[in-house]
Chain A
Amino acid sequence: MQDKLKALRDQILAEISVASDVTALEQVEITCLGRKSQFSQLMKQLGELSAVERREVGQLANDLKQEIQDALKLRRSELLQVEFKALAETDRIDVTIPGLRPETGHLHLTTQAIQDIVDIFSRVGFTRVRHPEVEWDWFAFEALNMPPDHPARDEWETFFIDAPQHSKLGKMVLTPHTTSGSARELKKGQLPIRMMNISKTYRRQIDVSHVPMFHQFEGLLVDRDVSVTHLKGILDHFAREFFGAGRHTRLRPFHFRFTEPSFEVDISCGICSGSGRSEDGSKCRLCKEGWLELGGAGLLHPNVLTAGGIDPEEYSALAFGWGVERTMMMRSGIMVDDIRVLYKSDFRFLNQF
């Protein structure tokens, strides 16, 4: 009996060692250790032995079984190693085939910029509001310290609505800037104010660099002791967040009717890194001497605060604003040679963003 078991062991181990793959090995396991196997047959004969022999042979059989199982395990892992090593050939797909994408649409370039701007200013406490696009002259001009003979109020700069004139508020216009919204915000009389207004605005101009409808962004902060240093802080925050850490801003004196002091905000050029020169030494194609104009800013003119019912001796206010389209193009480096394409609803354009 013991000899038979040993012979069987040798035979099984030999079969295990020649099994050529995992499937063959599994077959060996079934035929050698399964219910109908020779091994099982021998085990059944165990009962015919004496108690002493039974213990001895039983012990041997268990040891042999363990030995075979170890051999199976070892062989199995050897065979798997081989199989895994060959996977690159045996189980290969064409990985260059295009992916199956979920159906995707496109957000308009302008919308993408607006979402970013809103996020950035929300973080410093500004709440987005909306004010009329079709507006009274009073809010669009008069309340903003723009005298009646100001050029912007002439027919060739502003769109007028065919509607009767209001005795106090004047003509109905399409607002040429989001600053009219600031005039309305002041009138609400809830202080302090931190608001941002992003809206369609309108000017009577159409050519490769102008569209008659565009989007403007405006931020307004009214509080006690608001100063130029705060304006710098807010604009630097925006520049870092919107354009990236390496970009910086500068304020240059400028002139707007509704702010005093007024600034033009420049941002260092991303193409030439603010040097004003391209790599070959020629002038940078995008900027002026290393700087790009971002927009306008300033402290609200006391007359504007007064028109809004706020005492300029007690409160001061900072405001800033610029064209959304331009800002977006400055960041992405998208050089749209004709800006009118933005609002032509051509899928060949829209699908790119």
Chain B
Amino acid sequence: MNILASYNWIKEFVILKQSPEEFARRVSLSGPGVERLYPQAPPFEFMIVGKVLELKPHPNADKLQIAVIDWGTDRAEIVCGGTNLSVGMKVVVALPGAQVRWHGAGDLITLEPTEIRGVKSSGMICGASEIGLQDGFPHAEREIMDMSWCKAKPGTKLAKALDLEDTVFDVEVTTNRPDAFSIVGLAREAAVILAEPFVWKEAVTPLMPKSSKPVPFEVANHEKTLCTRYQAVVMDHIEVGPSPWWLKNRLLMAGLRPINNIVDITNYVMLELGQPMHAFDYEKLAGGKIRIRKAKKGEKILLLDGSEKILSADQLIIADAEKPIAVAGVMGGEGTGVVDQTNTIVFEAATFDPVSVRRTGRSLDLRSDSSLRFEKGLPEEQTQAALARAVELCQKIACGQMASKVHDLRSDSRRRVKFQFRPDHAERLIGVKIPAARMVKILKMLGFGISRRSTIKKGKPVFDVEVPYWRVRDIEGERDFAEEIARVYGYANLPSEIPAGKLPLAPMDPVLIAEDSTKKYLSAAGFTELLNYSFVSSEVLTKAGFAPESCLQIANPLSTDFVFMRPSLVPGALAAIKENEGLFPENDLFEVSNVYQRHDGLNLPDELATVLIASYGTTADDRLFRRVKGTLESLFDDLDRDVQLKRTEQQNHLWHPGRTVDLFVGDVVIGTLGEIHPAILNAFGLAGRVVATEFDLAGLMQSQKRAGGYCSIPLFPPARRDLAIVAAENVEYTRVEAIIRSVTDLLAEVELFDVYRSDRLGKEQKSFAMHLSFSHAEHTLTNEEVELEISRILTALEKELGAKLRD
């Protein structure tokens, strides 16, 4: 969570002399991270405060005047059309070089000395919108910015006069440190990290003057666990109006819009102390009562952001005698908000349960600066200081007077949290020697209470350390002290070492190795890797013929696209092919990911590492099939595994019945290779054909490694022959090769190099052309020996298959 923090504001509470850059760098390394720096003065360069000494009519223009301006060292004439210009007024003078936005619109323009309707003008008297200050100084059109309230002398730089010689830090504070999510909290951190004095003093609640008579006011807390402290005070004689510039300026720098002085005070206190506050219009509280209770089911409230919410019975609200007036810790109601006519208000500073605030905010779809802080968990102890500060400011800038005592409903008394601290343990964890006294000093500076004397256990000192109230939620044990010490000591000051020690003997899972080599192999072989979501929609599953109800289902999916954990990589691949088919009519792809198989009962699903390889295109012949099959075979060679491919006997909705084989490791089917069934392709709207294989990688890797071996290089050259035979169309090649191998012992290799079909061969006939290679271990084969083998082969092929030598 990020906060925009003014450096000048921080410096009210810690005496610092570091540059903003130095502050950012050092604080980031030991505490909250300063992510960005925004210097405030640059936009106001070449702008000064001037005083109008005299006004003269412009000789050539009715709507313009010539103002004689005192700017400290000198005086000058400036042509101006401002309707509110008067003698004695202090104004903003932009000099040549300044950047302004004409009438608050358009791009920034750099001013140059100029002549307006024949009269020289030494600069420009600015309206607030022309220099980006309209949020702080709202004004009517053609009015210039009145600086008469400002004590700065003529000639003072505008940035100085407006306290804009400042830098705003964008600071990331971690969610466990709401105490540092405030100006005072950041100052406390900075004081420790930079070793500078922290000078913040908690405000003290004044007592109600004896002379004033309290107004009727009651507070009742019906939810003591959800609201652990509620403080409230009534203030009257309020004059609601715009806040003074110093207050507005700080809200603006923090990114908040000034509203009116009362609302601004609550925001100011929240920024300064980290404690959200709220102000109610007392006169609109029915019965002069505040009740902290749960909403009644169906109760409605119109909120300050203009939205109307219907509440449910688990939501904590603030109510008056009749109705909800705020969603506790989240947002106030419109009906009891402070407006210009308000005379009497109630300030609230309370502590609400973080989980309740978070869940209520979420379910009402509301987030506010207030809920952001409450969600992190705030200490009950800080309401006191916040309320006192608000009262102090209200008295100062809104003429408020206390009109009730401070009501204080606290559910339980303060918890004191203590842990033991063993410096030697901290040292081992940090990894360098740090003197115990240094450690103790760091903890003390952070506000921890340390027992003056340590006890000695096993020859080592042990301290008792008490956690300050603002750290009670994040400090959970002794270990936290080591972190506090290490960060203030500085991580940058620690050496960097590769740990020695015993290396564990853990062999890597063969499936992980195989995944890696499969990916490398396939990408090198021309296939492109997909990574699809593990989730799949009911629609895609159904198209691919899978029953969604048999799949693992997500109870709270983000959308209908992401409902089921996929049981196969095929549906996603088909959907991807469909998306790409237009621009890429053919392609080769693969994915290696887990698929999920649901188990009933109290068992996690099986997560099976699965490989999918696919080629798609428009050819109807066997080329796609052979491409995937060949890739698969060479992949298995690469992984050193024996897999048998056998024609599928069982029909399956996904696969083409005439073009599919199962992958066997021994007797176990680990996957399938085949063409996707035309019915499935139709369902996906695919025009071409898709051949794919999907198999279980763990199943593959469970099989034995292929038996290795070595054949010595033959001493005698092989005899090579080409053989082309003609056989019936239904004769499959594997059979041909098996017969050839069975009748000859001299065959070293056989390689099919062509399958040919032609009318000349006859109907339903095809020709296989093969390279045969014969060899003998002990002599060079003679032509006669080879011819004898060929004739044996031909005889066998004719006898078994009716195949003949091709003419």
Q: A interface vs B, CB < 8 Å?
A: 102-108, 110-111, 115, 118, 124-125, 127-130, 132-136, 149, 151, 154-156, 159-164, 166, 172, 174, 190-195, 200, 202, 204-206, 212-213, 221, 223-230, 232-234, 236-237, 250-255, 260-264, 283, 288-289, 299, 301-302, 316, 342-348, 350-351
- Tell me, rounded to whole Å, the shortest Cβ–Cβ distance linking B398 to chain A: 37
Contact between A127 and B486 (Cβ–Cβ < 8 Å)? no
A31 and B594 CA atoms in complex are apart in Å by: 79
What 6 A-B pairs come out closest when comparing CB atoms?
A227-B431, A261-B483, A103-B526, A229-B431, A255-B174, A345-B576
Q: List 29 A-B contacts (CB under 8 A).
A: A104-B524, A105-B529, A106-B523, A125-B504, A132-B604, A134-B605, A136-B604, A151-B375, A160-B556, A161-B553, A162-B555, A190-B504, A192-B504, A200-B594, A229-B430, A229-B496, A233-B498, A234-B498, A250-B29, A254-B174, A255-B474, A261-B483, A262-B483, A283-B36, A288-B35, A289-B35, A301-B479, A345-B579, A347-B580
B601 part of interface (Cβ distance < 8 Å): yes
> Which residues of chain B from 62 to 85 have any CB-CB distance to chain A below 8 Å in the complex?
none
| Known A127-B506, A253-B31; 20 more pairs at CB < 8 Å | A105-B524, A105-B525, A111-B531, A159-B556, A162-B554, A204-B556, A227-B429, A228-B430, A230-B498, A250-B492, A255-B474, A261-B429, A261-B479, A262-B483, A289-B34, A299-B429, A347-B528, A347-B584, A350-B528, A350-B529
One digit per residue, 1 when the CB lies within 8 angstroms of any chain A CB and 0 when it does not, for chain B 564-580 equals 01000000100110011
Give B575's nearest chain A residue, CB to CB.
Answer: A345
A110 and B533 CA atoms in complex are apart in Å by: 13
B157 part of interface (Cβ distance < 8 Å): no
Contact between B499 and A233 (Cβ–Cβ < 8 Å)? yes
> Which residues of chain B from 586 to 643 have any CB-CB distance to chain A below 8 Å in the complex?
587-588, 590, 593-594, 596, 601-602, 604-605, 607
> B residues within 8 A CB of A128?
508-509, 512
A262 and B72 CA atoms in complex are apart in Å by: 55
A136 and B496 CA atoms in complex are apart in Å by: 36
- Tell me, rounded to whole Å, the shortest Cβ–Cβ distance linking B501 to chain A: 5
- Tell me, rounded to whole Å, the shortest Cβ–Cβ distance linking A223 to chain B: 5
- Tell me, rounded to whole Å, the shortest Cβ–Cβ distance linking A164 to chain B: 6
Known: A125-B503, A159-B556. Is A233-B496 also a contact (CB below 8 A)?
Answer: yes
- Tell me, rounded to whole Å, the shortest Cβ–Cβ distance linking A296 to chain B: 11
One digit per residue, 1 when the CB lies within 8 angstroms of any chain A CB and 0 when it does not, for chain B 545-571 equals 000000011111111001001000000
Contact between A156 and B362 (Cβ–Cβ < 8 Å)? yes
Of B491, B494, B594, most A-chain CB atoms within 10 Å: B491
Of A233, A251, A289, A345, most B-chain CB atoms within 10 Å: A345
> A residues within 8 A CB of B175?
255
> Which residues of chain B from 87 to 146 have any CB-CB distance to chain A below 8 Å in the complex?
none
Contact between B504 and A260 (Cβ–Cβ < 8 Å)? no
- Tell me, rounded to whole Å, the shortest Cβ–Cβ distance linking B353 to chain A: 9
Known: A105-B522, A232-B491. Is A227-B530 also a contact (CB below 8 A)?
Answer: no
B765 part of interface (Cβ distance < 8 Å): no
Of the candidates B29, B593, B607, which one forms a contact with A132 in the assembled complex, judged by CB atoms under 8 Å apart? B607
Of the candidates A133, A227, A262, which one forms a contact with B594 in the assembled complex, judged by CB atoms under 8 Å apart? A133
Give B474's nearest chain A residue, CB to CB.
Answer: A255
B477 part of interface (Cβ distance < 8 Å): yes
Of B31, B430, B559, most A-chain CB atoms within 10 Å: B430
Contact between B555 and A160 (Cβ–Cβ < 8 Å)? yes
Contact between B529 and A108 (Cβ–Cβ < 8 Å)? yes
Contact between B553 and A162 (Cβ–Cβ < 8 Å)? yes
- Tell me, rounded to whole Å, the shortest Cβ–Cβ distance linking B427 to chain A: 9
B355 part of interface (Cβ distance < 8 Å): yes
Of the candidates A151, A192, A229, which one forms a contact with B502 in the assembled complex, judged by CB atoms under 8 Å apart? A192
Contact between B509 and A110 (Cβ–Cβ < 8 Å)? no
Q: B interface vs A, CB < 8 Å?
A: 24, 28-31, 33-37, 174-177, 354-355, 358-359, 362, 375, 428-432, 474, 476-477, 479-480, 482-483, 486-487, 491-492, 494-499, 501-504, 506-509, 511-512, 516, 519-520, 522-535, 552-559, 562, 565, 572, 575-576, 579-580, 583-584, 587-588, 590, 593-594, 596, 601-602, 604-605, 607
Contact between A289 and B604 (Cβ–Cβ < 8 Å)? no
Of the candidates B31, B523, B554, which one forms a contact with A107 in the assembled complex, judged by CB atoms under 8 Å apart? B523
Of the candidates A111, A205, A346, which one forms a contact with B529 in the assembled complex, judged by CB atoms under 8 Å apart? A111
Give A264's nearest chain B residue, CB to CB.
Answer: B33
Of the candidates A154, A166, A228, which one forms a contact with B494 in the assembled complex, judged by CB atoms under 8 Å apart? A228
Contact between A149 and B429 (Cβ–Cβ < 8 Å)? no
A42 and B88 CA atoms in complex are apart in Å by: 133
Known: A162-B555, A229-B432, A345-B579. Is A236-B496 also a contact (CB below 8 A)?
Answer: yes
Give A261's nearest chain B residue, CB to CB.
Answer: B483
Give A124's nearest chain B residue, CB to CB.
Answer: B498
- Tell me, rounded to whole Å, the shortest Cβ–Cβ distance linking A277 to chain B: 12
> B residues within 8 A CB of A200?
534, 593-594
A182 and B604 CA atoms in complex are apart in Å by: 18
- Tell me, rounded to whole Å, the shortest Cβ–Cβ distance linking B421 to chain A: 14
> B residues within 8 A CB of A255?
174-177, 474
> A residues within 8 A CB of B479?
260-261, 301-302
> A residues within 8 A CB of B432?
229
A263 and B30 CA atoms in complex are apart in Å by: 10
Known: A204-B556, A233-B496. Is A345-B580 also a contact (CB below 8 A)?
Answer: yes
Contact between A351 and B528 (Cβ–Cβ < 8 Å)? yes
A204 and B175 CA atoms in complex are apart in Å by: 20
Of the candidates B28, B177, B431, which one forms a contact with A230 in the assembled complex, judged by CB atoms under 8 Å apart? B431
Of A135, A160, A227, A250, most B-chain CB atoms within 10 Å: A227
A275 and B797 CA atoms in complex are apart in Å by: 79
Give B356's nearest chain A residue, CB to CB.
Answer: A149
- Tell me, rounded to whole Å, the shortest Cβ–Cβ distance linking A275 to chain B: 12
Contact between A302 and B554 (Cβ–Cβ < 8 Å)? no
- Tell me, rounded to whole Å, the shortest Cβ–Cβ distance linking B520 to chain A: 7
Of the candidates B36, B431, B498, B587, which one forms a contact with A288 in the assembled complex, judged by CB atoms under 8 Å apart? B36
> A residues within 8 A CB of B559?
206
> B residues within 8 A CB of A125?
503-504
A134 and B607 CA atoms in complex are apart in Å by: 8
- Tell me, rounded to whole Å, the shortest Cβ–Cβ distance linking A180 to chain B: 12
A135 and B605 CA atoms in complex are apart in Å by: 9
A223 and B497 CA atoms in complex are apart in Å by: 15
> B residues within 8 A CB of A135?
604
Contact between B355 and A342 (Cβ–Cβ < 8 Å)? no
> B residues within 8 A CB of A221?
499
A190 and B354 CA atoms in complex are apart in Å by: 39
Contact between B558 and A302 (Cβ–Cβ < 8 Å)? no
> B residues within 8 A CB of A263?
491
- Tell me, rounded to whole Å, the shortest Cβ–Cβ distance linking A263 to chain B: 7
A209 and B558 CA atoms in complex are apart in Å by: 16
> A residues within 8 A CB of B502?
192, 223
Of B175, B375, B594, most A-chain CB atoms within 10 Å: B594
